[in-house]
Amino acid sequence: MTQQQCSVLIIDDAYTVREYLRQTLMHLGISTIHEAADGKRGLQAFGEKHHDLVFLDIELPDINGQHLLQQIKTQADKTHVVMVTAHNSVENVRNSIAAGASGFIAKPFSPLKIKNIVERCLAAKLN
């Protein structure tokens, strides 16, 4: 799978975070990018088209991101989910990884960090 073939879903209530991720992903050559501002719309978007990679905020206005992670992994366990948070605690990381997250990034993050995560997830999809 190439980056051009990769489908990404961004679930974050902050427009600026979604826009930053979208721009970064587009710069990496990913053209299939969907966004949702809350968990309900995110789960609906995921149900309509299972994405290869999901960037998921832990703190959403309507649902805990870790609970949403479990729902996504139940629907499609091969989907890579990267948890995004402004609160980088050991407990958040531990709980996210235990629930099936492929990675964890703390805000603010760099384009290089996003590039590395995308490349790692795509490489894992090929194996």
Average pLDDT over residues 92-111: 87
Residue 18 sits in a domain of what CATH number? 3.40.50.2300
- pTM strictly above 0.85: yes
pLDDT tens figures, 57-81: 999 999 999 999 999 999 998 899 9
**Alpha-carbon distances of 20 from 72, 87, 89, rounded to whole Å:** 23, 18, 23
Specify the pLDDT at position 90. 79
- The total number of structural domains in the chain stands at 1
Spell out the residues 6+ positions from residue 18 whose beta carbon is closer than 8 angstroms to its own. 10, 12, 35, 37
| Domain encompassing residue 108 | 3-126
